[in-house]
Each structure stands twice: as structure tokens, then as C-alpha cells.
Amino acid sequence: MILTVDIGGTLIKTLEWPSEKVRFAINFDEINFEKKKYEQIIFTGGGSQQIIRQYKLKKIVRSTNELHDLGRGGAYLANSEECYVLGVGTGTPLVKIINGKINHIIGTGLGAGTILGLGKLFASDISIEKLNELGEKGDAKKLNITVGEIYENSKELSLSPNLTAGNFAKLSSDINIEDKIAGLMQMVAESLGTLVNVASNSNSLIVIVGGGTFYPLFIRFLRKTLEFYGLKSVVPQKALYANCYGALFNFGIK
């Protein structure tokens, strides 16, 4: 049996192969894996080198190109040979894969880490579950100015009056924490969706993976933005573990 461990900036994910048993944790100590149980252990992710050094792990293989892991894993999970993979993690890279060739297209510091970080700023020490609960109850329209609120006749611009013209640009007196979280998720989603549109080809398939898939409201906003630009998107099962799958296959294991 083989174990792949993805050490991200926020979460740690593991994949056992070939059983495909997966799990995630906040701290490495929570993994508590038995090294003798595995024929091989593969590490990937930005924090992998530090963990290997800190815990003095020996006979460990480390992937040195996380972006290639992201692309190959995302394409595998989406069962696609040609697509863009959007890894919504602490930050968000976009990679393109065509017939096994992977290219890093663009990236941004906005991502799931932004949602969690600003969420905690808005509501102190808050969990992912609580963020989702609050966001689903919120109304982002209380914070955002739409095109229709600025232009009396938005059709002159060939734009829908419901489009966001300014995130967090309208501060009404009845705004609550639920509205702030909903507005936060929409802001990050619309920003990422617009970035993807500029950086990708039309009619492309966008595979969404990473920790951002923990936030259903955010994903709905993101997919709605991509749809507005004419882009198809998919969130595959086990999207959180794309890098784990990619690292596995990049080492020739099938």
C-alpha cells in the first residue's frame, strides 16, 4: 500500500492507494500514520519539506512540483485530458493540462485562506462549519453595489443590472455578520472567476479543486461567475485530494 500526504498552508490531506481511502487534518500529529504499513510514502505541498525535516522522516519521497501534481490530479478526478485546474487553497493557482502536458497559467493570493482568514477577522475564532452556516443565512446584496444601482440604463453598456459593480462598496445600517460572510465568499468567488476568464480559453472546462470546496456558497458563486463568462465547470468527488492523486501518478504509480 502507498500513502500520499499533501501538506498545504492550511490543511493536511492523505490518500491511501489503491484503496483510495482519504482523510484530512489541521495538524500533522493528527495523521498518526504507521510507516511500516506502507511500501512507499510520497509527500507533496508547500509545507512538506519542513514536516519531513521536523519529524526526521526517512525513506520518504517528496514531489518537487506541486503545480504538476495539481494539474494531473485534477484532470484525473474530472476524467478529462484537456482542462484547466483551479486549485482553490490558501491561495489559488490555475494550471492547464493538455494530453499530459501541464503549464502554470496564473495565480493569486485570494483563495480559501482568504475566506477563513477574513472570516476570523469578522467573527473572531470561527470554524469552517460556522462560516458556512453564517454565509448561507447572509445577503451579500446588502454590501455590494450592482451595475443597475449606478447606471439607470445598464443596457447601454450591454451589462446586466444585477452584476456586481463594487464588492463591499455599500454599507447599509442593517448589515450583520451573516451578510459579511456571504459578501466575503461572493467577493473571492467573483474575483477568481474573472481571473480564470481572462487567463483561459473560451469553452474551456474548469476543474475546481482544493480547500475552497469546503464552502458550498462560495462554490455556487464561483460556478455562477464562470457560467456568466461562458465557461463550464466541475467540482469532482474528492476534489480536496487532487494534489495527492497527482503526486501519486507523477511518480509513475497507477
Closest CA to 104 of 113, 95, 93: 95
Phi and psi, residue 159, nearest 5°: -125, 145
The residue ranges of DSSP E strands in 55-196, in sequence order, are 61-62, 82-87, 92-98, 101-108, 145-146, 164-166
Q: Does residue 63 have a pLDDT over 90?
A: no
Q: Does residue 58 have a pLDDT over 70?
A: no
Question: What pTM did the predictor assign?
Answer: 0.93
Query: 133: Cβ–Cβ under 8 A, 6 or more apart, which residues?
Result: none
Give the per-residue pLDDT at 57: 66
DSSP letter assigned to residue 47: T
Domain ranges of the chain: 2-79+241-250, 108-237
Domain 108-237 CATH class label: alpha beta
- The sheet with strand 12-17 has its strands ordered as 22-25, 12-17, 2-7, 40-44, 61-62
Provide mean pLDDT across the span 212-222.
98
CB-count burial class (<10 Å; 0-12, 13-18, 19+) for 151? middle
Q: Can you say whether residue 252 is alpha, beta or left, with left for phi > 0 and alpha for psi between -120 and 50 degrees?
A: left
What is the CATH number that goes with domain 2-79+241-250?
A: 3.30.420.40
Average pLDDT taken over every residue of the chain: 91
Give the per-residue pLDDT at 56: 67
Highest-scoring range by mean pLDDT, 12-16, 74-78, 170-174: 74-78
Question: Over the stretch 221-244, which tens digit does the pLDDT of each residue have?
Answer: 999 999 999 999 999 999 999 999
User: Quick check: do 2-79+241-250 and 108-237 share a fold?
Assistant: yes
At residue 98, the 3 state secondary structure works out as strand
Provide mean pLDDT across the span 181-208.
96
Give the per-residue pLDDT at 19: 94
- Least confident segment among 44-53, 112-121, 127-136, 181-190: 44-53
Give the per-residue pLDDT at 75: 98
At residue 3, the 3 state secondary structure works out as strand
Give the per-residue pLDDT at 37: 82
Contact between 208 and 234 (Cβ < 8 Å): yes
pLDDT confidence bin for 54, thresholds 50/70/90: confident
